[in-house]
Chains A and B, each alone.
Chain A
Amino acid sequence: MTPTADIPLKEPAVSAAAGDAEQLERARIDASTRVPVLMFYASAMAWLLIGTLLAGFVSFKLHSPDWLSDFSFLTWGRLRPVHMNVMIYGWGSMVAMGTAIWLMARLCRTTLRHPLLIVTGIWFWNIGVLIGVIGILMGYSTGYAWLEFPPYAAVVLFVAYVLIMSWAVLMFRFRRGDQIYITQWYLLGAFLWFPWLYAAAQAMLFVVPVQGVMQAAVGWWYANNLLFLWFGAIGLGTAYYMIPKVIGRPVYSYHLATIGFWTYALFSSWTGMQRLVDGPFPAWMITASIAATILTIIPVATVGLNHHMTMQGYFPVMRYSPTLRFTVFGAMSYTVFSVVGILISLRSTARYLHFTEASIAYSHIGLYAFFTMIMFGSMYYIVPRLVGREWRYATLIKLHFWASAYGVGLMSLMLLIGGLAQGVTQNDPSMSFIQSVASVLPYLRGRTVAALLLTISHFIFAFHFGLMLFGLGRTSTVPTFLNPIEAEGAEPHL
């Protein structure tokens, strides 16, 4: 009897009546989350498209600086934070909350109460992001990375968050069954970490501002923790749900999962200061973060092993299931993300990679290759269950996947190699500074190609999602497979 036995990982193949009751209950739960989750997704998609276009602008303007530079609100230095914040708060946070709420309802086996309050919260959140974006464009950016929104936008976001998440956390009160599944650990952690993180950073930067360089320390502490404890935690939690669910097989080891979760919480929350390596800080802070970054290899190894062993023998399912393909790509990218994080943090390599484009690559591997890909996967799973239709075109899903995968892969390579070229040049005092800029320029142009691929990918997905939203999906009981299933065994839960 494994501890997972009574976890609803797998649609149980019990008697027809009991199965019907399960089905019915699940449908009821899904129905209760329909409006808020779809609103989350629709908002997130809108922000994703805006953020993608901005990313293209930002990428292009970085190597062609005279393009559209004559208006203050189109200057590179304003578009770039807008792109980042739209992706973080508009796309990333909203899709994360949507998926997390749906998962929470499913795993607590309870209907979502007060969906209207959540809907109100979603409106507030959208308004908050919009206010922040306009604020940055008008020149009111705060100047702290990832926290550029003017503080008044942050207040709106915070209120919206409380409206949304208090109900998600309250679902725990009404949950059925004593077991708490791994996904719920991550989600509950994220739900509680984010407000603390956000409030602490806002308070220490704007309400009772800390002195001097401590602002930078708080800023990087916030940014890295947001990456790990908010996006990363929800991403990993989702992967822990989707992978076993789709292949219909319990998670390989609960013990590994426990180790993975707690070491993740412990070590990744201590990272951040390595981004300030050799800066004006007490050396212990930076060393502590570098050590913590190295130690993140433990959660990576355990989580990776766990997923791998769960998938063992089921990898061919990726050929058919869109959800699984995106999710496994994301889960594998988590390993890449952490390894790159370690490689660029070591003092010996930071000498060449600090202050270069490599750190941009790192953020994109984390936020896109890891987190966003898992979120795409979860949307492929969840949306059909909310709208009662199946995805219309397998070809579009495949295009979406490959454009995204190649796009983010190309971008990461360009930025890592370009960053190395840039850093090696900068580190050699006999080379002029401008040579380091010249050395990275070709890679920045390559990055623009990658941005184009991602733009294509996102517009395809948005179109497909729009079809679903307007009820134009396929009416069918069979999910959309990426490739026709050959005779031997259809997988029922794709």
Chain B
Amino acid sequence: MKGLVSLFIGVFGTFAFSWVGLTVIPNLQIGALNPQMDEEGTDIYPAPKSGMAERGRRIYAANGCIYCHSQQVRPDYASSDIDRKWGERRSAPRDYIFDRPVVLGQERMGPDLANIGKRAPAEEEKPAAAPAANSPAASPVAAQSPPANAAPAKPGATSSPPGSPAAPPQPPPAAAASPSPSASPNPNGVPPVYSAAWHHRHLYAPRSVNPDNGDSTMPAYKFLYQKHQINGERSADALALSGREAPPPGWEIVPTYEAKCLVAYLMSLDQSHPLKEVKSAAGAAPPAASPPAPPAGSPPPASPKK
């Protein structure tokens, strides 16, 4: 009988120890954080998301985006996340205080999305209409962001030794197609990378946005889009599709409300605001990031490499 009592006590004790240690105490430490603001009480970060973006988060969770995409930037000493331009600083608990469910992610079959909204072209009023005109304006932001990691190495993926991304002797034609989708008038009419229109097209037909994306294992989310017969004029938000994915003439593909929420959510993801508790990489990043750049010193598109 004594054995049973001590067994009970031990069973409860060990578990209580773990419960208190791993959930209760951390919750005291980081479970009640407030947004950060400057002295004047302005410049508050983070802020709650809009209703549409919040709904988009539910859709993000419900459709399992979380199993392939993380939303956390690890520090530069432990990973290459910052080198990959997934963020300028590591993520901190305060970045997530309004997130529910929090979708930090567990695996990366797809790239990190912690700053995907930040990496959108700066202005994107009519993205599909005038990609070429649009992106130069966006260059300060766009240049340092998305295509950065993708562009220089891609030719390597398609053709040559994956080990040497430098491999500058790429044939110019290939380089011209891929270097910086945001800036290039893509033959397929792909909108600037990470613009809302791009996200829609990417969700609808993931492997159509970039010819080098053939290895992407992202499923298409066609069920978030509707096929309409065009009567009168094309809807403003119809997807600009071409080739295999294009609807038959007289038809158009338009996002459902859910798709719009999901894209609104993606566009809202932005951890670029500095936090006091995190050593801002703004100063640290350029020195850290510049060494790798020269080797990749391929033509102008190399600039994204920073």
Q: A212-B99, A429-B292, A432-B154 are in contact. Are A279 and B72 (CB under 8 A)?
A: yes
Contact of A192 among B12, B18, B63, B64 (CB under 8 A): B12
Q: How far, in Å, is A429 (CB) from chain B's closest CB?
A: 4
**In the bound complex, what is the Cα–Cα distance between A210 and B99 (angstroms)?**
10
B91 proximity list for chain A (CB < 8 A):
279-280
Which B206-237 residues have C-beta < 8 A from chain A? 206, 212-213, 215-224
A211 proximity list for chain B (CB < 8 A):
27, 30-33, 97
Contact present for B23 and A433 (CB under 8 Å): no
Contact of B213 among A142, A351, A434 (CB under 8 A): A434
A280 proximity list for chain B (CB < 8 A):
72, 90-93, 95-96, 104
Contact present for A213 and B220 (CB under 8 Å): no
Say yes or no for A156: interface residue by CB 8 A criterion.
no
Contact present for A431 and B153 (CB under 8 Å): yes
Contact present for A77 and B15 (CB under 8 Å): no
**A425-443 Cβ-contact flags toward B at 8 Å (1 or 0):** 0111111111111101100
Say yes or no for B43: interface residue by CB 8 A criterion.
no
Say yes or no for A282: interface residue by CB 8 A criterion.
yes
**Chain-B contact segment, one of A116-124, A353-361, A370-378, A395-403:** A353-361
Contact present for A141 and B64 (CB under 8 Å): yes
Contact of A437 among B21, B162, B217 (CB under 8 A): B217
B29 proximity list for chain A (CB < 8 A):
282
Contact present for A441 and B165 (CB under 8 Å): no
Q: How far, in Å, is B44 (CB) from chain A's closest CB?
A: 16
Contact present for A218 and B23 (CB under 8 Å): yes
B212 proximity list for chain A (CB < 8 A):
434
A200 proximity list for chain B (CB < 8 A):
19, 23
Contact present for A61 and B10 (CB under 8 Å): no
Contact present for B221 and A225 (CB under 8 Å): no
A80 proximity list for chain B (CB < 8 A):
64, 67
Say yes or no for A172: interface residue by CB 8 A criterion.
yes
**In the bound complex, what is the Cα–Cα distance between A265 and B13 (angstroms)?**
10
Q: Which of A139, A357, A433 has the most CB of B within 10 A?
A: A433
A204 proximity list for chain B (CB < 8 A):
23, 27
A347 proximity list for chain B (CB < 8 A):
78
**In the bound complex, what is the Cα–Cα distance between A200 and B100 (angstroms)?**
17
B26 proximity list for chain A (CB < 8 A):
214, 217, 281-282, 285
**In the bound complex, what is the Cα–Cα distance between A262 and B9 (angstroms)?**
12
Which B81-97 residues have C-beta < 8 A from chain A? 83-84, 90-97
B63 proximity list for chain A (CB < 8 A):
72, 75, 77-78, 139
A81 proximity list for chain B (CB < 8 A):
64, 67
B222 proximity list for chain A (CB < 8 A):
69-70
A357 proximity list for chain B (CB < 8 A):
107
Say yes or no for B3: interface residue by CB 8 A criterion.
yes
Say yes or no for B80: interface residue by CB 8 A criterion.
yes
Contact present for A210 and B93 (CB under 8 Å): no
Contact of A213 among B1, B104, B166, B292 (CB under 8 A): B104
Contact of B22 among A65, A143, A273 (CB under 8 A): A273
Contact of A278 among B17, B30, B74 (CB under 8 A): B74
**In the bound complex, what is the Cα–Cα distance between A441 and B62 (angstroms)?**
25
**In the bound complex, what is the Cα–Cα distance between A279 and B130 (angstroms)?**
39
Q: How far, in Å, is A149 (CB) from chain B's closest CB?
A: 12
Which B74-133 residues have C-beta < 8 A from chain A? 74-75, 78-80, 83-84, 90-111
Contact present for A140 and B62 (CB under 8 Å): yes
**In the bound complex, what is the Cα–Cα distance between A266 and B222 (angstroms)?**
48
Q: A77-B63, A143-B101, A213-B104 are in contact. Are A429 and B149 (CB under 8 A)?
A: yes
Contact present for A189 and B219 (CB under 8 Å): no
Q: Which of B60, B62, B74, B156 has the most CB of A within 10 A?
A: B62
Say yes or no for A365: interface residue by CB 8 A criterion.
no
Say yes or no for B141: interface residue by CB 8 A criterion.
no
Contact present for B21 and A270 (CB under 8 Å): yes
Which of the four size classes fits the interface of chain B? 35 or more
Q: A214-B30, A266-B17 are in contact. Are A432 and B107 (CB under 8 A)?
A: no
Closest B residue by C-beta to A433: B111
Contact present for A192 and B11 (CB under 8 Å): yes
Q: How far, in Å, is A140 (CB) from chain B's closest CB?
A: 6
Say yes or no for B150: interface residue by CB 8 A criterion.
yes
Say yes or no for A490: interface residue by CB 8 A criterion.
no
Contact of B221 among A75, A142, A436 (CB under 8 A): A75
Say yes or no for A288: interface residue by CB 8 A criterion.
yes
Q: A62-B217, A188-B7, A280-B92 are in contact. Are A431 and B22 (CB under 8 A)?
A: no
Q: How far, in Å, is B151 (CB) from chain A's closest CB?
A: 8
A289 proximity list for chain B (CB < 8 A):
22
**In the bound complex, what is the Cα–Cα distance between A63 and B109 (angstroms)?**
11
Contact present for B216 and A434 (CB under 8 Å): yes
**In the bound complex, what is the Cα–Cα distance between A437 and B17 (angstroms)?**
40
Q: How far, in Å, is A353 (CB) from chain B's closest CB?
A: 11
**In the bound complex, what is the Cα–Cα distance between A429 and B17 (angstroms)?**
41
Closest B residue by C-beta to A268: B18
**In the bound complex, what is the Cα–Cα distance between A56 and B164 (angstroms)?**
36
Contact present for B93 and A281 (CB under 8 Å): yes
Contact present for A66 and B162 (CB under 8 Å): no
**B198-211 Cβ-contact flags toward A at 8 Å (1 or 0):** 00000000100000
Closest A residue by C-beta to B74: A278
Which A135-162 residues have C-beta < 8 A from chain B? 139-145
Closest A residue by C-beta to B86: A433
B58 proximity list for chain A (CB < 8 A):
143
> What are 7 A-B contacts with C-beta separation under 8 Å?
A78-B63, A193-B15, A214-B31, A272-B22, A433-B111, A433-B149, A441-B217
**A interface residues (Cβ-Cβ under 8 A, vs B):** 61-63, 65-66, 69-72, 75-78, 80-81, 139-145, 172, 178-180, 185, 188-189, 192-193, 196-197, 200, 204-205, 209-218, 221, 225, 229, 262, 265-266, 269-270, 272-273, 275-282, 285, 288-289, 347, 351, 354-357, 359-360, 426-438, 440-441, 444
Counting from the closest, the 4 A-B pairs by CB-CB distance are A77-B64, A143-B61, A429-B83, A432-B153
**B interface residues (Cβ-Cβ under 8 A, vs A):** 1, 3-4, 7-8, 10-12, 14-15, 17-19, 21-23, 26-27, 29-33, 58-68, 70, 72, 74-75, 78-80, 83-84, 90-111, 149-150, 152-154, 156-157, 162, 165-166, 206, 212-213, 215-224, 292, 295-296
Q: A81-B67, A355-B106 are in contact. List 14 more A-B contacts (CB 8 A).
A: A69-B220, A69-B221, A77-B63, A179-B3, A204-B27, A211-B32, A212-B99, A273-B22, A279-B104, A280-B93, A288-B22, A431-B156, A433-B111, A434-B157
